[in-house]
Amino acid sequence: MGAGRADAATLSVAENARGWPLIVRRAKVEDREAVLAFASVTWNGWDYIPNAWPVWLDATDGAFLVAEVDEPVGGVGAGLIDAEGRPLEVGQPVAITRVAMVSDDEAWLEGIRVDPRVRGLGVAADLQVAELHWVVAQRAVIVRYATGGENLGSHKLGARDGINLLARFRDWRWSAAGSAEDDEDDKDDLSAFDPQIREQATARRRTALERLGEAGMIASAERDDADHLWHRLADDPTFAAGHRLFEARSWAMAELTEALFRRHLLRGEVIVGRDPVAGGAWAVAILVGEQLASEDSALRLALLTGDGAVAAALADQIRSVVEQSVRFRVPVDVPMITGHEATFRAAGFTTRDREMHILARAMDADHPIPVADPSRVVLVDPPQRVKPPRW
């Protein structure tokens, strides 16, 4: 399902009166039992939060936040009830979220969960205000998050504070049976939040890159013209349609800048395909050598873009050389796919109608963040800067 916002049933943007404010603070080890009581069965009895819990507690690239019930406005016991009128306790965790950095100046929101007992009381909306204050502390120029295309609740929540649709993606994956239903749920993948699984997945990725290098498919900073490669990529319409986003960490996206592209080139993680007959036709892919902590450990290309037929051939060749199933995301209705669907499917790659939407908001003077109303939300841990990752 993805380490983005939760499904529509989990989020609420209702304006119902709530007689108590939220305390928002960093998560603690002792919060685990109370949080997992409402953050373990989000999608048909499953959620990645239990696996993410120990990783996010210690991660330096983000702030893992808990929202708890505060002393009610009007005195002890006044209005201290949930959405169904049942009593709540002061200090009871009722929601979580994570604010992460995906580059020096790009923030990412993920993992928001709200206890079903308090849905409809504006908890998600107030927690989003707290998120934005944490984003400001990171000096980010933009904040984004991922959600399902059908998740109207999440779209409506973001729109409250100017976080709106930026791009639409579909997941493509290779299937031996040629059917997307073989991999219907990502919950069947081994979790890369597990350090042993992550180590094994990194080994598979590095073996894959070695094989691709032996096959002469890896671009070389010495052999290839880096300037030409970048300018070709920068002018690619599919890359532009995806707002130059790539997915170094599964379910989290950042802008692929020229500096980042050159870094992946030097690491031997850029794969180029060319059509010897069609002359200038080409495609490029990026496979990050390190499996980062994330929801799944699938072999996912961080980027695949270029001319449709060449891109399909490149994806097929990568899959054949590495002898593993390969996945990648592509913006919806782009030149690389439109008119070439049959070519991708003939190579064994399938997709479903389900879309992943990327929502975004600029963080600048023209987009002021909402004030944290102390009658609704209190940030007891002052927002502090975290360390951006080095993808």
pLDDT in tens, 202-239: 999 999 999 999 999 999 877 778 999 999 999 999 99
pLDDT at 152: 95
pLDDT one-digit tens code per residue, 299-344: 999 999 999 999 999 999 999 999 999 999 999 999 999 999 999 9
pLDDT one-digit tens code per residue, 55-78: 999 999 999 999 999 988 766 555
pLDDT at 18: 86
pLDDT at 189: 81
Here the tokens at position 335 are 């030149």
Q: Kindly report the CATH number that applies to the domain delimited by 22-161+369-379.
A: 3.40.630.30
- Say if CB 113 and CB 354 are below 8 A apart: no
pLDDT one-digit tens code per residue, 341-354: 999 999 999 999 89
Q: Taking 80 as the threshold, does the pLDDT of residue 377 lie above it?
A: yes
- Say if CB 178 and CB 145 are below 8 A apart: no
pLDDT at 176: 84
Extents of the domains making up the chain: 22-161+369-379, 170-353
Prediction pTM value: 0.93
Nearest partner of 253 among 209, 218, 286, judged by Cα: 286
The mean predicted confidence, pLDDT, of the chain is: 91
Is residue 162 left, alpha or beta, with left meaning phi > 0 and alpha meaning psi from -120 to 50?
left
pLDDT one-digit tens code per residue, 150-199: 999 999 999 999 999 999 999 999 988 766 555 444 545 899 999 999 99
pLDDT one-digit tens code per residue, 96-107: 999 999 999 999
Question: Which CA distances in Å does 225 have to 213, 232, 278, 282?
Answer: 17, 11, 20, 14
